[in-house]
Amino acid sequence: MIFFEQIISGLVVGSIYSLLGLGFTMIFACTKRINFCHGELMALGGFVGLVFIEIFPSCLFLSFVVGPLTIGLIAVIIERLFLRRLQEDKPLKIVIATIGLSVVLSVVMQIIWGAHPKTYPNFISEKPFSFIGVKIIPQNLFIFLISISLMIILQYFFLYTKTGRALRALSQDRYAARLMGIKVGQNISLVYFISGILAGIAGMLITPIYFVSSSIGSFLGLKAFIAAVIGGLGSVPGTIAGGFFLGIVESLSSGFISSKYKSGISLLFLVLVLLFSPKGLLSIFHKVNLLKWRKSKNEKY
């Protein structure tokens, strides 16, 4: 019984890791780079959401649209100003630049909104409901559903739309993609825009249950990143699976071993996965991957 409770509490945390991890995956899938300030963008999303909810107190939906869009724009600006020059360079340079940006962003947030964490009430009712003996608050279920549906939308976008295909081509060979008439710069901006929107959505959803502060970004961002790497950075289903996997591992290890070793155990998993299957746990199943199947189908024609 307690085992199931722990699993479900793991899924609750895992859905947050998945939601955040999607942003990392989005950028990695298309540009083979990592945006380390994604966590800070998420925190910024929470703060911006706070501002918009104060501006439009009556229309929650509006702030839920405008907030993430703002973060998307900020992500594009960051990309244009600081990262564009590095896109052709070694992948790690962008990582270093975004680490610098994450410091800058968290300081900016502290200057604007102060050092104290902030929060706003849940969108849906605060009242928890019972599921196999575990009390779950609706907000958590909402986050769970949103991560799953975002996964489906993103997967559809990557596999079946023209833009999605262009982005995939970009990730495989930028030079060839350019020859095929794909506008590389524009598409990279688009990727950053989408990942910014994802960060904004995550920030707005997480704020009521975890609070938002200038320091939450680096912490949650790192966790989500680890989750995405474990599951398979660059693969949308892999990221979701990795998020849930890390959530369950954490909750089981703090439930049955000790919460002191929680982070240690997840780091151990990270290193093991990187060593033995750098493309993530889900790459083991890649033989039945949709992408490959489609590729072979295309080759026939």
Partner 1 sequence: MKSIKHVFPFFILILTLSIIGFIPNLYYLHLFNLILIYSIFSLGLNILTGYTGITSFGHAGFFALGAYATAILSTRYGVPPILSIFFASFLTAIAGFIIGLPVIRISGIYLAMVTLGSAEFIRLLALNWDSLTGGAIGISNIPALSILGCYFKSESSLFFFLYAMLIISTFIFVRITNSRFGKSLIAIKDDEQAAESIGIPCAKNKLISFFISGFYSGLSGALYAHFDRFIHPATFTFSLSVLVLCMVILGGMGTVFGSILGAIVIVILLEYLQPLGVYRLFVYGMILTIMISYFPQGLIGILKEVSGHFRKNKFKNTI
Partner 2 sequence: MKGKVICLVIVLTLGLSLLILPGFAMDKKDIVIGVIGPMSLSDAASGISMRDGVELGIDEINKSGKLVGINLKMVVVDDEGNPTKSISGNRRLVYNEKAIAVIGSVASSCTLANMQVTQEAGIPQITSISSSPAVTQKGNKWIFRTQITDATRARNLVNTALDVLEKKRIAILYISSDYGIDATKILVDLLDQKGYPPVAVESFNEGDRDFLSQLIKIKEKDPDTLILWSLYEPGALITKQVAQMGLDVQIMGSGGLTHPKYVELAGEAANGVIVTLTYHPTSKEPHIRNFTEKFQEKYGKIPDHYNAQAYDAVMIIGAALEKVGADDPLKLRDAIASTKNFKGISGTISFDDKGDSEREEMIIQIRNLKYEVF
Nearest to 226 by CA among 251, 240, 246, 241: 246
User: Which residues neighbour 204 within 8 Å (Cβ) at sequence distance 6 or greater?
Assistant: 45, 46, 49, 63, 64, 67, 68
Helix (H) or strand (E) holding 110: helix 91-113
Residue 215 binding partner 2, by CB under 8 A: yes
User: Contact at 8 Å (CB) between 229 and 273?
Assistant: yes
Burial of 130 (0-12, 13-18, 19+ CB in 10 A): exposed
With CB under 5 to 8 Å by kind, the binding choice for 100 among partner 1, partner 2, none is partner 1
Interface with partner 2 includes 138 (CB under 8 A)? no
Q: Does 254 bind partner 2 (CB under 8 A)?
A: yes
- Residue 161, phi-psi category: left (phi > 0), alpha (psi -120 to 50), beta (remainder): beta
Q: Which string of b and e fits 222-233 if b means at least 16 CB within 10 Å?
A: ebbbbbbbbbbb
In the complex with partner 1, which residue's Cβ is closer, 117 or 138?
117
- Dihedrals φ, ψ of 129, to 5°? -120, 165
Interface residue with partner 1 among 53, 188, 229, 236 (CB under 8 A) is: 229
Other CB atoms within a 10 A radius of the CB of residue 44 amount to 29
Q: How far is the CB of 71 from partner 2 (least distance, A)?
A: 20
Q: Residue 159 burial by CB count (10 A; 0-12/13-18/19+): exposed, middle or buried?
A: middle
Asked if 93 touches partner 1 (CB under 8 A), the answer is yes
Binding residues among 255-274 for partner 2 as defined by CB under 8 A: 255, 258-260, 262-263
Listed residue (173, 189, 281, 231) closest to 19, CA to CA: 231
**With respect to partner 2, which residue has the nearer C-beta, 8 or 170?**
8
Residues 162-191 that bind partner 2 (CB under 8 A): none
Residue type (1 letter), 16? I
In contact, 173 and 78? CB cutoff 8 Å: no
**Which lies closer to partner 2 via its Cβ, residue 21 or residue 72?**
21
Nearer to partner 2, 98 or 213 (CB): 213
The minimum distance between CB 187 and partner 1, in angstroms, equals 20
Complex with partner 1: residue 115 or 176, whichever CB lies closer: 115
Q: Quick check: 95 binds partner 1 (CB under 8 A)?
A: yes
Minimum CB separation from partner 1 for residue 100, in Å? 3
Chain residues binding partner 2 by CB under 8 A are 2, 5-6, 9-10, 12-13, 106-107, 110, 115-117, 119, 121, 128, 135, 137, 209-211, 213, 215-216, 219-220, 250-252, 254-255, 258-260, 262-263
> What is the contact surface with partner 1 in residues (CB under 8 A)?
34, 82-83, 85-86, 89-93, 95-104, 107-108, 110-111, 218, 222, 226, 229, 260-261, 263-264, 267-268, 270-271, 274-275, 278
